[in-house]
Chain A
């Protein structure tokens, strides 16, 4: 018996050892980083950055066009010679909006592809799962595509910066607008079952009071059915319905309500309020009718009638195969523009440190309807939002902009939108 086992074990040992050796032989040892070597991902004529995006999975339908738009903007910049003589290479990895996959693809980007920075990683649950990792690795984690307040913790996460106006601010602004324009109505809220929903609720309650919301409902992205939630809101007699939902679920909520014969007023976070995307979900025939009067918050230029939209539409036609020009295109290109601006300001020979300094310097202006608020003690991009409504199929600003003071109250702002300079290609700071 022991004789057999011994041989048995020895055979396993030999097999495993050889398997191990084969694996080892195939891989290389990383060279040690010398102090004056160029930053990871930076060569004489390229800068390589990466992102994680939901190209497949539950959030894909709403957001998969963002990275294509960013890529199109970088193609445009590269066609004019790049930034400081370097073209921008943008590696897009699909995480399927699944935090477990995000962890794998981001490690691959950082360790295998040696990216200079992570740009615009999309999603609260997904990006939360790599937040610690990126900061331990000291990788610049710029302009996260989510409005969670987690990204604005300069002490704890010095390498992470937000892009969206945070959800607390959005909740406050929309609640303030409801109070200002729809006084006395019953306000309710449907929120995603994560930080997105939690923070939006916090914002709404900051303005309306702890018991200011008549009904608060939650949904989970993995369950494509919100009948129970919408029925409860209808039964509670809700009149203003605030939504902390991704595009797919905004459409699902409005569609479900319509099926229940309930036509009510919706107030949505910018994250789930892109008119063309929503019409795509709801259908060309009923979508425009259901979305008439739809209120949402935003901080980027409207899709029509301004210099930015004209420039981006031109880039979209030329470099994005004429894909539909929607809010995601605007978002993706705005992200690309802000990164190009930061990279230009990071100097002739950018390092991860100089890139961070460029962002925290407070000199970046971006392209929003109000100024950026990056600084040493703020990693939030926008601390205010404008109110948009849909009228006859056109989603545009109504001219009211609210700014949060970060302590739970909001005020009306008269900030001016940022103008286009140098045909949308940031020039070097020096």
Chain B
């Protein structure tokens, strides 16, 4: 849905920009005036994006003051999952590549963070330097795994791609067991604790500090992803998804675009895993099960594919829903053995039901159910001005599964 309106809305200029950028920066542009105009709109767009990011981040950080520690912990989890769901949403929604293994990519980020942080702790490095280096290592590790996986993914479609990524997440416990010396087996790895910086220690609690860090990381990741999404690269991704042949004819290197999307998405997931490791001071295979991996996909579908807001809503749902259900069943005073049987199983059931209901009612996800004012005003009709679009109009959420 988003593609069709955006491509047709932008009309000729979108097709131009695909061609222009495909033939090298600026070489194919009709006139220098157009190029200047494009540069200035790109600049303005970036400024807007950064402005929005700053405002939202400030709002979220301000919000932590109103939350109690457990709510801040949940907020930090939401932010960590948001990194992963945003990357996954970009991957599935924009390039149509379905990954069921994003939990494993999060785990790569988490282990990368933990191993580096432990090595640095042993070497006597701590504080900001340790955090920054460990995050970089996490991003590097998940990016590398994502690149390798992306190279395979670019040659595979639909169920085959889903199968490869599924194998990755299923193999995770075995990998940690085989390399238990380095990865700690089922117990996983524990890392040293990062306390609140002394300057802030009197103002905020440690959960709040962790929420800040998580929000900061999510802000950077999502801003970069949004930039990619609304830029030339995003356009190429959509073009590849809607009709690979047409995209190639327009000079888009489809394989590269897919590999790039997979790698970026893996780095985002890795950032999420690293943040999760920072917040909980540990990483273990039990945190990245197959069920969790599928839950990430459910989250982006429930929230709304291809949309950052949808990814945020999805990660809020996966953090809050099990907790809400637990609180509800706890308050209902059920018999002990029934509670025990429901515990852990009920949330899965509710997720399944929610997925069906959301897909039936709002095919574009919860985001699509928001009032029109909030749902990004895509009803602005391009009408007659649009030239033939690269693809026949299909609804975006169905695209990946059709392949």
Contacts and interface: CB of A to CB of B under 8 A. Distances in A.
Interface residues of B, number: 63
B375 to A, nearest CB: 7
Given A5-B45, A28-B68, A99-B188, A222 B56 contact: no
B334 to A, nearest CB: 14
Interface in A94-148: 94, 96, 98-101, 103, 107-108, 111-112, 124-125, 128-129, 132-133, 136
Interface stretch (B120-128, B138-146, B293-301, B336-344): B336-344
Interface stretch (A8-16, A253-261, A324-332): A8-16
Contacts of A221: 186
A12 B207 CA distance: 27
B177 interface: yes
Nearest to B279: A103
A381 B206 CA distance: 32
B41 A1 contact: yes
A7 interface: yes
Nearest to B288: A100
A17 B55 CA distance: 9
A29 interface: yes
A80 interface: no
Contact of A112 (B44, B70, B308): B70
A22 B137 CA distance: 36
Contacts, number: 163
A2 interface: yes
Nearest to B283: A100
B369 to A, nearest CB: 12
A354 to B, nearest CB: 24
A64 interface: yes
Given A221-B186, A223-B174, A98 B286 contact: yes
B274 to A, nearest CB: 15
Most chain B beta-carbon contacts within 10 A, residue among A28, A96, A193, A223: A193
A339 to B, nearest CB: 20
A7 B177 CA distance: 50
A194 B176 CA distance: 12
B66 interface: yes
A183 interface: no
SS class, residues of chain A in contact with chain B: helix
A15 B52 CA distance: 12
Nearest to B287: A100
A421 B76 CA distance: 49
Contacts of B49: 5, 9
Contacts of B381: none
B188 A2 contact: no
B282 interface: yes
Contact of A132 (B51, B281, B316): B281
Contacts of A10: 52
A30 interface: yes
Nearest to B180: A193
A108 B322 CA distance: 12
Chain A CB count within 10 A is highest, among B6, B190, B308, B313, for B190
A2 B284 contact: no
B344 A99 contact: no
Contacts of B281: 129, 132-133
B55 A13 contact: yes
Nearest to B67: A27
A125 B284 contact: yes
B253 interface: no
Contacts of A23: 63, 316
A219 B55 CA distance: 51
Contacts of A55: 340, 343
Contacts of A407: none
Interface in B2-25: 6, 9-10, 13
B68 A56 contact: no
A128 B188 CA distance: 10
Nearest to B51: A9
Interface string B322-355: 0100000000000010001001110000000000
12 contacts: A7-B377, A13-B52, A16-B312, A17-B59, A64-B340, A96-B344, A99-B286, A100-B284, A103-B280, A111-B68, A195-B187, A222-B173
Those 3 A-B pairs whose CB atoms lie nearest each other, nearest first: A100-B287, A111-B70, A125-B187
